[in-house]
Chains A and B, each alone.
Chain A
Amino acid sequence: MEVTSIKDGIIIDHVDAGTALTVLRYLKVDPTTTKLALIMNASSHALGAKDIIKIEDVEDLNLDALGLVAPHATINIVRGGGIVNKRQPGLPEHLVGVISCRNPRCVTTAERGLEQRFHLANAQRAEYRCDYCDEEAKL
């Protein structure tokens, strides 16, 4: 399957099969207004099946959430039709404005204007916890 068919943009490969739309939601990419292609449930040697997301003409996409929502993904940066950079998503120390705390007792559910903030509590388990209430992040 050809994955370099965009000219300038990002290809997120090896997304767990069936989760591409979820990944887009966490990356805050609106599929109704963005030039993108989704390939879902493609064959994969490594994963058996995978999704692929191709996004054309993106400048400053915040990929912080990828390590959490697509831990097996590969990020390909495409310039002029060729891949100029390939990397795995990392686990940033902090996630700001990416995921929301599910704890109904958390102050973020009541205080207006409070940004959702999480910190990496355990890198081995890719475990993030809310800065405010310490509840574990759930997708």
Chain B
Amino acid sequence: MAGSSVVTLDDIPTSGIQSLLDKARYIDSHMKEVAGTCNGRVLATLFYEPSTRTRLSFETAMLRLGGKVIGFAGSQLSSATKGETIHDTVKVVSQYADIIAMRHPKEGAALVAAQASDVPVINGGDGGHMHPTQTLADLSTIEARFGRVTDLTVGLCGDLTFGRTVHSLIETLCRFGNVRFVLISPDELKTPQYVLDRINGSPTCSYTEASDLTSVIGDLDVLYMTRVQKERFFNEDDYLRLRDTYILDAAKMALAKPTMAVLHPLPRVNEIAQEVDADPRAAYFQQVRRGMLMRMALESSLLGDELPGYEEHNDIDANADTKEAQD
């Protein structure tokens, strides 16, 4: 993995994703030991559009590994305002930094950056296309809750047509296998055929489609809620109607298993009522922390910096999971 870029999760073999999950668990329980892993390294965060969570997560990850951070947030602060191409900006920055994390509104921008760069590039989201580290955060959260990412019933609810995080999570879970998907959406926002084809192509995964959350919530180990994004609609009335289709509240949570985990890529609008935050099954803030841990694992791996004391396939501190599940 060292020296390569991550544009999509297809760039990482399944064994590599498992290794990142293992490393994230190790990092979580050995923060002091890993604090100097990336001493002397520089991460450049090139964020051409606003982001709080993702950019701060990448930057905190590098700072916690002992490295430093440069970059910009907002294309108005970059040479893009002078007409510079992504290729040229990234080529220049790759002469300064050891690794780059980039977000750009254009789909496919991360591939352009990876092809231009002399150092590893991590895609921090390229429009509605890919956001691989979000999926890594999702997987890590599921693993932290259940000790595995297989043999689970995973419900995905809301915008299943445009939700890139949903498609990426489905496709990645299919690589691990043995997942039953429950796809919960209104007719207007159903899962695209190519994603269903991916599930059908997995010998051990299956799916059912539903439009009523309450009728299926009791079957789920994981409920992945999504935001209906206003920018996807031309008609405000359609947006408002579909936005309020599924709102997860305490009444619906009462129908769910006591061990179910609720995930959400954030930011939420109103699809999860604030009263759910206090429920121990709410995992979406834990998910943010897992995202940072996975970015620490990814950044150090792409730089080829070994985590002090970490050995592949070693016994991970099992208390880390128990501790988080009780948070």
Interface residues of A (CB under 8 A from B): 103, 105-114, 130-135
Contacts and interface: CB of A to CB of B under 8 A. Distances in A.
Given A112-B85, A134-B108, 20 more contacts: A105-B105, A105-B106, A105-B127, A105-B128, A106-B108, A107-B86, A107-B104, A107-B106, A107-B108, A108-B108, A111-B85, A111-B106, A111-B109, A113-B87, A114-B112, A130-B108, A131-B111, A132-B111, A133-B107, A135-B107
Interface residues of B, number: 15
Contacts of A110: 106
Q: Which 8 A-B pairs have the closest CB atoms?
A: A132-B108, A133-B107, A107-B108, A107-B106, A133-B108, A107-B109, A105-B107, A105-B127
Contacts of B112: 107, 111, 114, 132
Interface in B97-117: 104-109, 111-112
B126 interface: yes
Given A131-B111, A132-B111, A134-B129, A106 B106 contact: yes
B92 to A, nearest CB: 15
A107 B107 CA distance: 5
A135 to B, nearest CB: 8
Contacts of B105: 105
A121 to B, nearest CB: 8
Interface centre among A111, A114, A135 (most CB of B within 10 A): A111
A131 B126 CA distance: 13
Interface in B1-59: none
A112 B85 CA distance: 7
Contacts of A105: 105-107, 127-128
Contacts of A108: 108
A10 B33 CA distance: 69
A124 to B, nearest CB: 11
Contacts of A107: 86, 104, 106-109, 111-112, 126
Contacts of A106: 106-108
A135 B128 CA distance: 11
B197 to A, nearest CB: 8
B126 to A, nearest CB: 7
A131 B85 CA distance: 18
B48 to A, nearest CB: 11
B90 to A, nearest CB: 11
A132 to B, nearest CB: 3
Contacts of B108: 106-108, 130-134
10 contacts: A105-B127, A105-B128, A106-B107, A107-B104, A130-B108, A132-B108, A132-B112, A133-B108, A134-B108, A135-B107
Interface in B53-86: 85-86
Contacts of A109: 106
Contacts of A114: 87, 112
Nearest to B7: A132
Contacts of B129: 133-134
Given A106-B106, A132-B107, A111 B86 contact: yes
Contacts of B85: 111-113
A46 B106 CA distance: 44
Contacts of B106: 105-107, 109-111
Nearest to B197: A122
A128 to B, nearest CB: 13
